[in-house]
Structure formats: structure tokens, C-alpha cells
Amino acid sequence: MAFEFTCRKTEELELIAADLIAGFPDQRLFVLSGSMGAGKTTLIQSLCRVLQVVDVVNSPTFSIVNEYLTAEGSSVFHFDLYRLRKEEELLDIGYEDYFYSGSYCFVEWPEMAAGLIPDDCIHIRITVDETSSERTIRAASFTDGGRV
């Protein structure tokens, strides 16, 4: 299964996020790729609003992972792997406990630990049109062969 969206303004992101959550109802691990400033964190903020996260959603650039709570008390985990120097740093924080917890996990910069990212995740790639600033958001399941 794969989806593609065009985002012209940030106000559209919440609808896109709702479609992503609904489109992959059994998935909990979403990895987001895109250039610096493409909107990975902004999309995760929208995904968290759809999931009714009550905490402030910020990029965990220095802490690697943030935990947020939903209105129902469920955990949502947000990873930013940009500053990883080696994959072992992700091992050191016990990433498997998060990824296999059954909670939603959103991972920015998964390519920094590509060897540790499970195949059964949803890959979201955000590309930016330099002339219009429109974002194209493509999402696909790796297990369906849908690399984006």
C-alpha cells in the first residue's frame, strides 16, 4: 500500500496526517526521510495532534527520543537520529523496547541507523519543490516492497 500527497500549506498537514494514520491502521513505526527543513518534525506534530497527544511536540535533536502522552494516557515516541555518530548509540538507549512496544513511534533521519530500522515500518519521504515550496509526501510499507 502506498500514498502520495501534495501539501501546499501547513494547514493541510492535519488532513494528510489523519489519512496516514487511517491508511496504515495496524502500523506503529513510521520513519520519515527528507532534506533539512523539509517538514519532518512539522508532519510529526500533525500526526501527534491526530493521535490526540496532549504534550508539546518538539524535535528530540539532542535527547534522541521524546515520549509524549495522548489524552487516553498512551505513549507516543518521537526519535531524531540526525546527531547519531554510530548505530550503537541507538542500541544503547534500548530502541527495541520502543519500536516493539506497540506504541506509535515516529523516527526522523532513519538513514543514520538504517541497519536497525525494522522492515515492517512505514517509510514517509518528504520532498520539496524549490520553485513552489510545495511538499510531496509519499508513504509506503517496506513489506509491500514500497520504498519511497
- Per-residue confidence (pLDDT) for residue 59, from 0 to 100: 87
State phi, psi for 21 to the nearest 5 degrees.
Answer: -65, -45
- Per-residue confidence (pLDDT) for residue 1, from 0 to 100: 82
Q: Is the pLDDT of residue 148 over 60?
A: no
How is the chain split into domains, by residue range? 2-136
**Total residues belonging to the chain:** 148
- Per-residue confidence (pLDDT) for residue 63, from 0 to 100: 86
Q: Output the pTM of the full model.
A: 0.93
- Per-residue confidence (pLDDT) for residue 73, from 0 to 100: 97
Q: Using one digit for the tens of pLDDT, what is the confidence trace for 115-145?
A: 999 999 999 999 999 889 899 999 998 665 5
The CATH number of 2-136 is which of 3.40.50.300, 3.40.50.2020, 3.40.50.2300, 3.50.50.60? 3.40.50.300
Helices (H), the chain: 13-23, 40-50, 88-92, 95-99
